[in-house]
């Protein structure tokens, strides 16, 4: 095939170069459209995504309109902030045209009763043996996972494990240092390894995990297949007040932006949290009441052989 040459000013541009440039432009446009869809589907304002990712609002606006050539590093930040893998934005197949996205949207908008019925259909009784008497509490920080899990373990005679503590034992350093040294990806790898070790070690256990575990589909899938999961949820203002009661003032930096960020984070993850086998809402409840409800839920659903 003969090489066709055009001129741009006094620069010769071959047809191959033109096709390459067009392919790059097309990819930038596709990535921008997918980022916009992901952000809007989770109800996250562009300004909040900017705060979460560290990418300026102007740059995000250019990206979403297909006029910004974002670096891989910055796109990775955006992907992490949106709780998606970077491959979702650059792959050849559009994930937003897949059945899984449509089904997830339908599931998210369904009533709690419908969601539980769907989960029972997708989670046949034969899986119960695989889950044994392992119970995992998921949800955002401040819902009461650690407090309730520890007390429920004492009541039922089950060991209680906090996943971050297991990661610290495994790595020999605090989680904050793990993230500082190895980043989120390094932390996620240790998180997956710790869960596999807990599954291999315990048939009877109550586990509390960090809220971001749903960010890694593979790890979350392992969790769902090997544990009876309970989403411990609360209203955003209660999440915030409980974290402050623990002596951590960091969530209040930049308030009310911090509250808006928390609400967006909760909304972006609630479809994943709602995949849990059962839900415990601790909003407006005293600790004793929430503990009684958790124990009743564990017994009613036969999550533990006690």
pTM over 0.85, yes/no: no
Burial 223-238 (b: 16+ CB within 10 A, else e): bbebbbbbbbbbebeb
| Tens digits of residue pLDDT in 243-274 | 776 655 444 454 556 777 778 888 888 888 98
Q: What is residue 206's predicted lDDT score, i.e. its pLDDT?
A: 97
In this structure, of 31-35, 56-60, 86-90, 141-145, the range with the lowest mean pLDDT score is 86-90
Residue with more model confidence, 221 or 295: 295
Of residues 199 and 53, more confidence is placed in 199
Positive/negative CA dihedral, 112, 217, 53, 74: negative
Q: Are 223 and 195 in contact (CB under 8 A)?
A: yes
d(CA 220, CA 242): 25
In the predicted structure, residue 9 carries a pLDDT above the cut 90: no
Q: What is the pLDDT of residues 77-107, one digit of tens each?
A: 888 787 777 777 877 666 656 666 567 667 7
Topology of domain 5-97 in CATH is 434 Repressor (Amino-terminal Domain) (1.10.260)
Under the banding of pLDDT at 50, 70 and 90, the label for residue 172 is: very high
Judge whether 158 and 304 are in contact, CB under 8 Å.
yes
Summarised one tens digit per residue, pLDDT across range 10-24 is 556 577 777 777 777
φ, ψ at 113 (rounded to 5°): -65, -45
**CA dihedral of 265, 173, 186, 64, whole degrees rounded to 10:** 30
Strand, coil or helix: 113: helix
Distances (CA, A) of 173 to 89, 182, 274: 34, 12, 32
Please give the pLDDT value at position 52. Answer: 82
Q: What is the third-level CATH fold of 112-300?
A: Rossmann fold (3.40.50)
Pairing of strands 133-138, 11-14: unpaired
Q: So what's the pLDDT on residue 35? A: 87
Rg (the chain; Cα; Å): 23
pLDDT in tens, 181-217: 888 888 999 999 999 999 999 999 999 999 989 888 8
- What whole-number percentage of the chain has pLDDT above 90? 31
d(CA 140, CA 210): 7
- pLDDT at res. 1: 44
SS3 108: helix
Q: 45 — alpha (psi -120 to 50), left (phi > 0) or beta?
A: beta
Residue 287: which of 150, 163, 160 has the closest Cα?
150
- For 40, half-sphere exposure in the C-beta direction (CA atoms, 13 angstrom radius) is 9
Nearest Cα neighbor of 151 from 301, 289, 281 is 289
Residue spans per domain, the chain: 5-97, 112-300
């Amino acid at each position: 095939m003969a090489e066709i040459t055009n001129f741009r000013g006094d620069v010769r541009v071959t047809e191959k170069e033109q096709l390459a440039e067009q392919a790059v432009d097309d990819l930038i446009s596709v990535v921008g459209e997918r980022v916009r869809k992901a952000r809007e589907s989770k109800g996250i304002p562009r300004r909040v995504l900017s705060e979460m990712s560290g990418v300026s609002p102007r740059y995000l606006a250019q990206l979403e309109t297909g006029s910004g050539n974002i670096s891989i590093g910055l796109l990775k930040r955006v992907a992490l902030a949106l709780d998606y893998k970077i491959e979702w934005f650059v792959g050849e197949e559009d994930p937003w045209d897949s059945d899984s996205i449509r089904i997830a949207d339908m599931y998210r908008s369904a009533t709690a009763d419908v969601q539980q019925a769907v989960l029972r259909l997708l989670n046949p009784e034969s899986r119960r043996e695989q889950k044994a008497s392992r119970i995992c509490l998921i949800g955002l920080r401040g819902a009461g996972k650690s407090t309730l899990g520890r007390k429920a373990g004492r009541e039922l005679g089950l060991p209680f494990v906090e996943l971050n503590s297991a990661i610290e034992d495994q790595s020999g350093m605090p989680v904050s240092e793990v993230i500082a040294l190895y980043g989120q990806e390094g932390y996620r790898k240790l998180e997956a390894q710790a869960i596999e070790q807990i599954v291999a070690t315990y048939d009877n256990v109550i586990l509390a995990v960090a809220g971001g575990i749903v960010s890694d589909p593979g790890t979350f899938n392992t969790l769902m297949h090997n544990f009876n999961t309970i989403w411990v949820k609360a209203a955003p203002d209660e999440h915030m007040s409980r974290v402050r009661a623990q002596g951590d003032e960091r969530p209040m930096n930049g308030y009310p932006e911090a509250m808006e960020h928390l609400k967006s984070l909760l909304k972006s993850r609630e479809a994943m949290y709602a995949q849990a086998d059962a839900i415990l809402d601790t909003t407006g409840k005293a600790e004793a009441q929430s503990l009684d409800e958790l124990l009743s839920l564990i017994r009613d659903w036969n999550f533990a052989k006690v």
